[in-house]
Amino acid sequence: MDSVRSGDPGPGSPAGRSRRVGYLPDRDQTLMKLVVAGPFGVGKTTLIRTLSEIATLHTEEAMTETGRPVDDLAGLPEKSTTTVAVDFGRLTLPGNTVLYMFGTPGQRRFFPLWQDIARGALGALVLADTRRLADSFEIMDMVEEQGLPYAVAVNRFPDSPDHPPEVLRAHLDLHAATPLLLCDARERGSSIDALIALAEHVLDTLPAGPDTHEGQ
């Protein structure tokens, strides 16, 4: 991940000065707030729990009979809780890039929180499930409305149909530059790969030069 290596000044930066993308004043780190978004039950909380190096913050509430008409648990036999506000975790990548991961709620009734959670974020990882790909469309719309660069990670469940990447890209109507990855949110390797792809995509889309990033 050359583009975010510690000490890599980046285009237009004074030599020896690291890129600062975020709020904390550590000059050796690149900091990024990222949103993990996706429809109900797609694995957002699971991914953040899998990846975080600190104790994660979750706002999980038990799912009840009352929610049954709107909370579609088809294909999610183990799911018993849902996120009602936000998930939070942190992951340091090789090269001293620190990712702050904010998970959004997946249920429509909590979408009003979305803008607050996404404020200050530099990019979004949109999770999708091939059993219900269309559920990710409105999430991608919200991310695009926020002007956030994003990557799509297809979280694979045992009965998820497999499709070639080009078919998925066409179905999701992805821009050629938008990264598309397959992952298992319960498994570290593929989940890290998805976040690294997003982080690199974010850095590719940021304007060059230190003055643009500092103080954000």
Ligand X SMILES: Nc1nc2c(ncn2[C@@H]2O[C@H](COP(=O)(O)OP(=O)(O)OP(=O)(O)O)[C@@H](O)[C@H]2O)c(=O)[nH]1
- Where do contacts with Mg ion occur on this chain (CB under 5 A)? 44-45, 83
Residue 109 CB burial class (10 angstroms; 0-12, 13-18, ≥19): exposed
| CA-to-CA separations, 192 to 8, 69, 97, 123, 125, in angstroms, rounded | 21, 34, 13, 15, 11
Alpha-carbon gap, residue 150 to 177, rounded angstroms: 10
As a whole number of angstroms, the longest Cα–Cα distance in the chain is 60
Residues 139-178, one symbol each (x = binds ligand X by CB under 6 A, - = not), give ----------------xxxx--------------------
Residue 137 touching ligand X (CB under 6 A): no
Helix (H) or strand (E) segment spanning residue 188 = helix 188-205
> CB-wise, 38 or 149, nearer to ligand X?
38
Which of ligand X, Mg ion, none does residue 123 bind to, with CB < 5 to 8 Å depending on kind?
none
Least Å distance between CB 16 and ligand X?
A: 41
Which of ligand X, Mg ion, none does residue 38 bind to, with CB < 5 to 8 Å depending on kind?
ligand X
Residue 38 touching ligand X (CB under 6 A): yes
Least Å distance between CB 172 and ligand X?
A: 17
Least Å distance between CB 105 and ligand X?
A: 6
At 47, is the secondary structure helix, strand, or coil? helix
Residue 21 touching ligand X (CB under 6 A): no
Residue 57 touching ligand X (CB under 6 A): no
Chain residues binding ligand X by CB under 6 A are 38, 40-46, 76, 78-79, 82-83, 105-107, 155-158, 184-186
